Copies of this chain bind each other. A is one copy, B any other.
């Protein structure tokens, strides 16, 4: 049997060597690619207790068997590492064109090990791996870095993944950029910076074959048919992109306002919603082979931000640079999104960090602000403060490593205002009015993550596997398992969740199994496919357990558990400790974990990851 995938490139920056490994068939079958392959390598190769910013941590780029084929929406990169922001396993996703170019170099995984003694970048081209001096690019923003490397190498068609000043300065909110696409979260950029690695540069020259082209094309036709039949994909998302969610969450009263203090009090759908942003649409910049093409390029048209354009801003950034700061200026959000991309800092974590700083300032807990007036609604301070955090300048140093670290420095009272789970700042959904979102944020192995089990049922009303009531806590355990495993399967396929969640959920297992079987030549049943996502969630859980995580870490910010939402359609809602415990019990049970949230040996054996059993803590 021909297996066309499974080649791993390992690059050691300490001794500046590289080597290639072929994965065995069992590993491929169990982990395939994407987030699962990354998790498997990380679990096996990074020892418990490793310093996330030390040479023992690894930075693992993975794609999968269908990346770079003609399958639509399959250009997603997964970057896995032990997150310096959370201490848990971290994976971060990005679209664009880099993933396909990486796949075409012939590797499904690139593992960066060790630490260079001076700034370097890695060039992978024509089966050669070159570790080169990057002093000349150190300090440049992410866009300039990409442009100059291309010119210097006289090859404009290179695709580049790189860090900006935030990653170089080891801000734990630093992201990794390729073009204007961010692998944004969990501080992956800080890990890259800690290794003195400025960029990974790839140029592919390989074809990506599939084993059974006819079967593969049939599966693709079914994907396209479902995309076409969707009421949301082409009629709406193509034109609005993710900003649509501003309208939806505002209507439900769950768009967070003023660091979650005033959710429901202000309706941002008019100032920051689809209608407001339509006037800024400039062009599009779709990911490789994406027929949906949700990425709007928007440009501020007048005043102080005139001419500043950005890819997006996506919904999450409209929240983090808008509503959660009490800012209703869509052009400022555009400018902030662009600046974050250039600095290489996560828009979400950095925005929520600013929100925290604003509330601490209003509460009198933060007093030294280098003259900046940090009140909610003051958009003027956003761009300067982003820059200061990326460069660790002045008082902003306190917030450069996210809200949890800031709270640790500012004392017990400050903790209440840190809107994070496991150290990862909350995404846009105020989970007090979206209970499955809440359970997902509490239990996701990466912290409060909208990419690891997004409850599309609660927001878009899609009744798969069944209709749900967003304010109900019952049944959310099963649902969250479904959503997390679903996200896992499609991450492994490197397919974009966005069209998959809205157009394909009813046929997701079937299509997933077909795409995998036809591309790899390894036969996957629907159940096999589904188990891939479950296995991912279990091995990652075991990684965290080995690091000391347990039920106590499956929690939510205290504010969301104590303070009810003030106004709007979700008024009065909160997720009490009792509610959360109820949902956790349901969830653990659905997962086959014990009541402390520890996977049982039986479950691990069932999933074929019995080698993780010895990470189960010994009960006293």
CA A302 to CA B387, docked complex, whole Å: 10
CA A283 to CA B299, docked complex, whole Å: 30
Query: Which chain B residue shows the least CB distance to A387?
Result: B306
Minimum CB–CB distance for A414 against chain B, Å: 28
- Residues of the B chain whose Cβ atoms lie less than 8 Å from the Cβ of A299: 139-140
Q: Contact at B306–A152, with CB atoms within 8 Å?
A: no
Number of A residues with CB within 8 Å of any CB on chain B: 35
Q: Contact at A136–B282, with CB atoms within 8 Å?
A: yes
Instruction: Tell me whether A297 and B148 are in contact in the complex, defined as CB-CB below 8 angstroms, given that A136-B282, A164-B307, A307-B141 are known contacts.
Output: yes
CA A302 to CA B152, docked complex, whole Å: 25
Q: Per-residue CB proximity of A271-307 to B under 8 Å, as 1/0?
A: 0000000000011110000000000010101101011
- Residues of the B chain whose Cβ atoms lie less than 8 Å from the Cβ of A539: none
Q: Contact at A307–B148, with CB atoms within 8 Å?
A: no
CA A157 to CA B154, docked complex, whole Å: 10
Minimum CB–CB distance for A375 against chain B, Å: 22
CA A303 to CA B144, docked complex, whole Å: 19
Q: Contact at A307–B137, with CB atoms within 8 Å?
A: no
Q: Per-residue CB proximity of A109-144 to B under 8 Å, as 1/0?
A: 000000000000000000000000000110111011
Q: Contact at B285–A151, with CB atoms within 8 Å?
A: yes
A309 within 8 A of B: yes
Query: Which chain B residue shows the least CB distance to A344?
Result: B307
CA A393 to CA B297, docked complex, whole Å: 25
Q: Per-residue CB proximity of A37-64 to B under 8 Å, as 1/0?
A: 0000000000000000000000000000
Q: Contact at A282–B140, with CB atoms within 8 Å?
A: yes
- Residues of the B chain whose Cβ atoms lie less than 8 Å from the Cβ of A164: 307
Query: Which chain B residue shows the least CB distance to A310?
Result: B144
A343 within 8 A of B: yes
List residues of A (61-81) whose CB comes within 8 Å of B's CBs: none
Q: Contact at A307–B343, with CB atoms within 8 Å?
A: yes
Q: Contact at B283–A152, with CB atoms within 8 Å?
A: yes
CA A285 to CA B157, docked complex, whole Å: 17
CA A285 to CA B151, docked complex, whole Å: 7
Minimum CB–CB distance for A510 against chain B, Å: 32
Q: Contact at B148–A285, with CB atoms within 8 Å?
A: yes
CA A148 to CA B152, docked complex, whole Å: 20
A34 within 8 A of B: no
CA A151 to CA B282, docked complex, whole Å: 14
Minimum CB–CB distance for A61 against chain B, Å: 21
A391 within 8 A of B: yes
Q: Contact at B307–A140, with CB atoms within 8 Å?
A: yes
Minimum CB–CB distance for A80 against chain B, Å: 27
- Residues of the B chain whose Cβ atoms lie less than 8 Å from the Cβ of A309: 139-141, 144
